Structure 1
Amino acid sequence: MMIFLLLLFSYITFHLYKLIFQNRAHSCCYMLHYECYKGTEDRMLNTETCAKIVMRNKNLGLQEYRFLLQTIVSSGLGEETYGPRNVLEGREATPVLTDSLSEFDDIAFDTLDALFAKTKISPTDIDILVVNVSLFSPEPSLTSRVVNRYKMREDIKTFNISGMGCSASIVAIDLVQQLFKSHSKALAIVVSTESIAPNWYCGKERSMILSNCLFRSGGCSMLLTNNGSLKGKAVMKLNQLVRTHLGANDEAYNCCIQMEDKLGHEGFLLTKGLTKAAAIAFKLNLRVLVPKILPLKDLLRYVLHTYRRKKAKGGVAPSLEAAGEGLNMKAGIQHFCIHPGGRSVIDGVGKSLGLNDYDLEPSRMALHRFGNTSAGGLWYVLGYMEAKKRLKRGDRIFMIGFGAGFKCNNCVWEVTRDLGDGNVWGDCIASYPLPPLNVSPFLEKFSWINDEGRTDVDLTSAFNKV
């Protein structure tokens, strides 16, 4: 009887251990490869091209031109970002369905072709497919479009995510990680991009014109797995991921929203409440994430600092710069991958976490070279780090993303081997980082807009002389 009980106990113990071990193994998330999209030269939005696009909008007057000039000069964008074909061809006011589909095809199929070629993985081996495009959801779905193009298996699990904003790629990765818990030895692809073609704003509301100044065409495809046998081929392992959602707060919900202006022009509204919402969401996210990544002594120091600050200052208005005050994130993180949503976002997060110019360089340069590519933006920042050969085995990367809703989605990756692929930055990385410009090309060519005494009447003739 005793022998039987011992055998039974051993059997149960073995299977419990096996179950726990398998669950842990299945929930691991490794990145095998990622590919960012790079547009063609005929789609570059340089100074002259931007001026032509602006001049086509007959709703704008002198004050709007001055606002646009001020915004683009301070945006941090360079002259080599990419726009959709319909905008370059002068059809931004009258987009058609094929404009949206061709924009998606260019980005998704270009990056996926490269992904399959470099990893030697066949499209028929993919078990899970997630596509995130916030502002475009056709029928059939975009995932179906990918499945049809690559003739993927009939049992593939597909998920089409829309409306998640600039941090949607982290949402997609979180979905994959959760699916890995119930799908062993799986291969998953995430296609992360945005639809700019049908969403160019043609009105005059300043808070909606901002999107035209910042958002550009771009995207990324990623190959993920929980198959332990492929661990040696991985470039990174996902350590932590935390999502924070402020949708219940009306001010946060409305600070970044798609809508029509008073004249019926559809666009994307960005209000002054955005930075406040970002500060609150970022702070709440850090409260959950930080204890999982920082050493105990740094956590205790942060708790003590927070207590003293509350006692000394009482309630203060939230700000992005102060959201991480007192934290020493460098105690557990080597690299900071901040969503290149705009110069103020990058600088605000940098000040909040006590980062220096070296830490912020990848995000600033990604913003300059590719602009705000929405959900794809984080991966251009990561690509910069890799092209600069900064990423060494064991390094940890803190990815910080903000998105409409309002959301703050952050994660931490661990580099599993030294990385140095030139990727999408290969042909220009030697010229980066760029030195500070004394005068922006836009200000150099269009500073006359700010001349005193100028009126709306002589704008057209002045532009034609440029």
Structure 2
Amino acid sequence: MILDEEIARPDTVGRTADAWAAGRRGPAILGVGTANPEDCYSQADLLDMYAIEDRRIRSVFLNSAIDRRFLTVPPPGADGRPRPETQGELLAKHKARGTELGARALQSCLKRIDAAVSDIDYLVCVSSTGLLTPGFSALLIRELGIPTSCSRLDIVGMGCNAGLNALNATTGWATANPGGLALMVCVEVCSAAYVFDGTMRTSVVNSLFGDGAAAVAVAHGTERPGPQVLKYASRIVPDAVDAMRYDWDDEQGKFSFFLDRDVPYVVGAHAEDVIGNLLSGTGVRRSEIAHWLIHSGGKKVIDSVAVNLGLTGYDVRHTTSVLRDFGNLSSGSFLFSYERLLQEGVVRPGDYGVLMTMGPGSTLETALVRY
């Protein structure tokens, strides 16, 4: 038995953490794949395309720490600007483009782990940018020829934090079904959730989000390499339940997303609590976390979380670079960061990492992994 005083001794902390991790033997993340639309726009491109001259709105776009975003923009109307889309057209775009992006991300993930669609036993699809019944799981099974016996789950409307909520369900299934292959796909067509009315409320949203999909493969009890997911921890802040929401706008006749200006501070203020809960009982100290993969929620959100957790620019380099190159990709953002970490080639066996997502609720979700 490990005594509390042993955990506190510097010369035993690493061994305590390793012993705890060895006892967990969590399900492994086998691979990741991502996809974006073909069309990419700089912030200046979008301001010119929509002929936006309001200095306040231009400032929001140009000071967002975002260089470009991949979007599905409608064709121009009679005035030369992109034509306004009805709610029906937005939902149709969500379905068509989402199915395409989700299929490409899933296929990319399978290719990286040398697996086929026929190997998929469980499929979880996540989306917060449109309403769809049947969901993307059924559409992807039909589109790709995934076995019709595949178990599935659709997670809709949870927002940017939903990727980790879904990963929790995915790893749970993998643990209960050793040897089975589970796929999670985050499909976010954020351009299907845009309202253009010239207000600051919609402009903040329109300056931030981009289109993209990300897929991750998970299995338990196999010899395939990949980081093991050891533990999850959540924190919801009910007092901030209205700070981030996607609801109906009667004036526009569309669904519209709202972000409260205090969201970054609410998220940052509770980041330390949820990380404390995540590491509690593991013997892992915060200073031993080698890799931080945090949702690219926006410049102020990233800064607030980094300040409250004492993280450096290097710690959040993938979070900020994904924001710069893609914008906020909602539930799949952290998987784009994970892909960049793998491409960087700096991960060593035994490294600990933290995954963190934030979203409506207001909610923080975290996972502890060991590479």
Q: Could you state the TM-score of these two structures normalised by the residue count of structure 1?
A: 0.68
Deviates more, 1:70-79 or 1:253-262: 253-262
Partner of 1:104: 98
In structure 2, the residue matched to 1:34 is: 32
**What do residues 156-189 of structure 1 show as CA deviations (whole Å, max 9, x unaligned)?**
2110000111121111110112223432322100
Provide the rounded CA distance (Å) in 2 between the counterparts of 1:175 and 1:33: 17
Counterparts in 2 of 1:186 and 1:361: CA distance versus 1, 3 Å: same
Q: Which of the residues 156, 168, 174 maps onto 1:174?
A: 168
Does the CA contact (< 8 Å) of 1:103 and 1:197 recur in 2?
no
Q: Measured at CA, do residues 127 and 47 of structure 1 come closer, stay the same or move farther in structure 2, by a change above 3 Å? A: closer
Query: What is the aligned partner in structure 2 of residue 18 from structure 1?
Result: none
* Equivalent position of 2:85 in the other structure: 93
Superposed CA RMSD in Å reads 2.3
State the 1:85 CA deviation.
Answer: 4.2
Higher-Rg structure is 1
Task: State the secondary structure of the residue aligned to 1:127.
Answer: strand
Q: Does 1:372 align with 2:328?
A: yes
Partner of 1:333: 289
> Conserved in 1, the CA contact under 8 Å of 2:121 and 2:181?
yes
SS at match of 1:99: helix
Report what 1:402 is aligned to: 358
Q: How many residues align?
A: 342
Aligned partner of 1:266 in structure 2 is 255
**C-alpha distance in 2, partners of 1:98/1:364?**
31
Seen in structure 2, the aligned counterparts of structure 1 residues 33 and 168 have a Cα distance that, compared at 3 Å, is same
Question: In the alignment, which residue of structure 2 is the partner of 1:309?
Answer: none
Give the counterpart of 1:82 among 46, 55, 70: 70
**Residue in 1 aligned with 2:5?**
none
**Counterpart for residue 47 of structure 2:** 51
SS at match of 1:114: helix
| 2:342 corresponds to 1:386 | yes
Counterpart-to-counterpart distance in 1, 2:281 and 2:324: 33
- Give the unaligned 5+ runs of structure 1: 1-23, 299-328, 416-466
Q: Which residue of 1 aligns with 2:280?
A: 291
Cα separation, partners in 2 of 1:162 and 1:271, compared to 1, 3 Å: same
Shift of 1:127: 1.3
Letter of the structure 1 residue corresponding to residue 50 of structure 2: V
2:243 aligns with one of 255, 268, 273: 255
Please state whether the residue corresponding to 1:166 is helix, strand or coil: coil
User: Contact 2:354–2:369 (CA<8 Å) still a contact in 1?
Assistant: yes
The one-letter code matched in structure 2 to 1:347 is D
Quote how far apart the aligned CAs of 1:128 are: 0.8
Partner of 1:358, secondary structure, is coil
Q: Distance in 2 between matches of 1:48 and 1:273?
A: 26
- For 1:153 and 1:88, the matched residues in 2 are separated by 41
Higher strand content, 1 or 2 = 2
Q: Secondary structure at the match of 1:263?
A: coil
Distance, in Å, in 1 between the alignment partners of 2:268 and 2:315 is 20
What TM-score do the two structures reach when normalised by structure 2?
0.85
Matched, 1:70 2:59: yes
Matched letter for residue 320 of structure 2: R
Judge conservation of contact 1:194–1:217 (CA < 8 Å) in 2: yes
User: Structure 2 stretches of 5 or more lacking a match?
Assistant: 1-22
Q: Compute the displacement of 1:276 (Å).
A: 4.1
